[in-house]
Amino acid sequence: MAVWNVLEIVDLNGDHFYNEGSAPLQLLKINGKKAADQKPLWFVGGVGGGAKLDAMLIQLLQKALQSGIFTAAPDIYMTPVLNPVAQGDVRTEAMNATLLRWAEFIDPKSVISFTSGPELIRQVNTPKDVYEKLATITERIVYDIGAEPEVLADDGNPIPYTKIENVLKSWVSEKEVSWIDFTLPKAKRSFDELRDLDWKVKLGPALRWLVEDLRFNPVQLPPPVSHTIIPALELPPEFANL
How sure is the predictor about 238, in pLDDT bands with cuts at 50, 70 and 90?
low
Return the top range by mean pLDDT from 143-147, 159-163, 174-178, 195-199.
174-178
**Which is more confidently placed, 142 or 237?**
142
pLDDT tens sequence across 196-226:
888 999 999 999 999 999 999 876 656 666 6
Give the pLDDT mean for 136-162. 87
What is residue 215's three-state secondary structure? Answer: coil
Question: Which architecture characterizes domain 5-239 according to CATH?
Answer: 3-Layer(aba) Sandwich (3.40)
Give the pLDDT mean for 145-174. 84
**Residue % of the chain over a pLDDT of 70:** 79
The predicted pLDDT at position 236 comes to 60
Question: What are 144's strand-pairing partners?
Answer: 123
Neighbouring C-beta atoms of residue 163, cutoff 10 Å: 14
Say yes or no to pLDDT of 31 above 70: yes
**Residue % of the chain over a pLDDT of 90:** 47
Nearest Cα to 108, choosing from 154, 57, 177, 45?
177
What is the DSSP pairing of strand 5-10 with strand 142-144? unpaired
Asked if 18 and 92 touch (Cβ cutoff 8 Å), the reply is no
**Which is more confidently placed, 165 or 133?**
133
pLDDT tens sequence across 73-100:
999 999 987 766 655 667 778 888 888 9
Rounded Cα gap, residues 3 and 137, in angstroms: 28
Number of Cα atoms under 13 Å in the Cβ half of residue 241: 1
Rounded Cα gap, residues 242 and 238, in angstroms: 8
Helix ranges (DSSP H) in the chain: 17-20, 53-67, 92-106, 128-138, 167-175, 191-194, 204-211
The predicted pLDDT at position 20 comes to 47
Residue type (1 letter), 106: I
Rounded Cα gap, residues 36 and 6, in angstroms: 21
Nearest Cα to 25, choosing from 47, 54, 3, 41?
47
DSSP per-residue codes, 128-180: HHHHHHHHHHHT--EEETT-PPP-B-TTSPBPPPPP--SHHHHHHHHHT-EEE
Say yes or no to pLDDT of 50 above 60: no
The predicted pLDDT at position 17 comes to 40
How sure is the predictor about 22, in pLDDT bands with cuts at 50, 70 and 90?
low
How sure is the predictor about 19, in pLDDT bands with cuts at 50, 70 and 90?
very low
pLDDT tens sequence across 97-122:
888 999 999 999 999 998 888 889 99
Give the pLDDT mean for 23-30. 88
